[in-house]
Amino acid sequence: MFLKSKEVDNYIDGFDENIQLKLNDIRNLIIETAPLSKEVISYNMPAYKGKGIIVYFAAFKNHISLFPTSSGVEAFEEELKPYKHSKGTIQFPITKPLPIDLIRRIVLFRVKEDLEKGALSCNSKKK
């Protein structure tokens, strides 16, 4: 069973209700998509760890950011054109609905990368 972090609860509770709803939507999506990850606070943001960090998210004044590392942004570059993004960050405006399907696919991509990373590190230890 996935254990939710009290620290992440506290982080989300620190925002207005409309922002809390969006943050909880992202949180629940990540928990569903990465059920073996560990929920932590890292760099003062909710983060989900497997062998390494899978994804972070955070709320700001005008947007909610998803931090899927640079590979998570690069892999979805075409679909991210409507959103402000940089090397490792995607900004979703607070005034618009979250692109839940896109976020789910990004998280799945990062879970797969994390699992492959774990398999590679296990194989290198066997040599």
Q: How far apart are CA 86 and CA 12, in angstroms?
A: 24
What is the reported pLDDT for 5? 86
pLDDT in tens, 62-99: 999 999 999 999 999 999 999 999 999 999 999 999 99
Q: How far apart are CA 53 and CA 110, in angstroms?
A: 9
Q: How far apart are CA 77 and CA 100, in angstroms?
A: 16
What is the reported pLDDT for 25? 97
Whether the model clears a pTM of 0.75, i.e. scores above it, the answer is: yes
| Residues across the chain | 127
Q: What structural domains does the chain harbor?
A: 6-121 (3.90.1150.200)
- Give the full edge-to-edge strand order of the sheet including 53-59: 38-42, 45-49, 53-59, 63-67, 90-93, 84-85
- Taking 70 as the pLDDT cut, the residues of the chain under it are 1-3, 118-127
